[in-house]
Amino acid sequence: MEQMIEKKESNLAVVEFKSIARGIYVTDAMLKAADVNLVMSSSLCPGKYLTVVEGETSAVENSLKVADEIGKMHVFSSEIINSINYKVIEAIYGKSTDKISGSIAVIESMQMANLISSADEVADAVDIEFSDFRLARGCGVNSFYIFNGELSSVREGARVASEYLMSRGALLAGRVISGPDPEVWRWIRSSLCRC
C-alpha cells in the first residue's frame, strides 16, 4: 500500500475583480488554462469578486497571466504568493477548527493578499490552529482571520502578523483575547455570516 505524504506548502494566485460577471468569466478561463485547484471563488462586498487558485508555481503563474490578460481593466489586484503553508490554504477553503483551546487572536486588514501572507508567516512561526478566515465576505471591505492556541503562541503569532502587515501599511487591527469566555466565542461563531 502506498504511503500518503502530507502536503506542507503550495502556491496561490489571488485575483480581485471590480466586476462580478467578469470575475466569474475570468475564473473559468483561469481554470481551463492551467492545472490549478480552485480554493475560493466568491462575490465580495461591495460588488467585487475574488478568486484564489492553488497549484505548482508555473500553473499558478499561467492562471494569473490569463486573469490579467482577459480581466484587463476589471482586475483590481492580482498577486502570487509562493510556498504558502497548507494550513492557511485549508483555512481559506473553510477547513478550520470549531474548538477553542487557550486564547485567540483576531487579525484584520483591507488587503487580502497581504492578509494571506501574514497568516502564512504566523503558521510558519508558531503552533496555532485557524478558527476562521474571512476574505471580505459579509464584512464590507475588511478581511480577517482568527487563530487559537496557547497564550504564548497566540501572542507571538499576533506580533508576527501585526509586524508583517504594519511593514506593508496594511494592518487595521490585531487583538489577543486570553481565554475567551465561551459565550463570546459562541456569539462570534454565530455572527459570522457565510455570505
CA angle (64 as vertex; 58, 68 as ends), nearest 5: 145
Rounded CA gap, 100 and 88, in Å? 17
Mean pLDDT by 10 residues, the chain (195 residues): 52 92 96 94 83 95 95 90 90 76 90 91 94 73 88 97 95 93 75 51
CA angle (124 as vertex; 120, 128 as ends), nearest 5: 90
- Residue 51's pLDDT is what? 94
Half-sphere exposure of 6 (CA within 13 A, CB side): 5
- Residue 133's pLDDT is what? 87
Domains of the chain: 9-86 (3.30.70.1710), 96-191 (3.30.70.1710)
Radius of gyration of the chain (CA): 17
* pTM of the predicted protein model: 0.82
Residue 97: C-alpha distances to residues 28, 58, 62 (Å): 30, 31, 33
For residue 7, the Cα-to-chain-centroid distance in whole angstroms is: 18
- Residue 186's pLDDT is what? 74
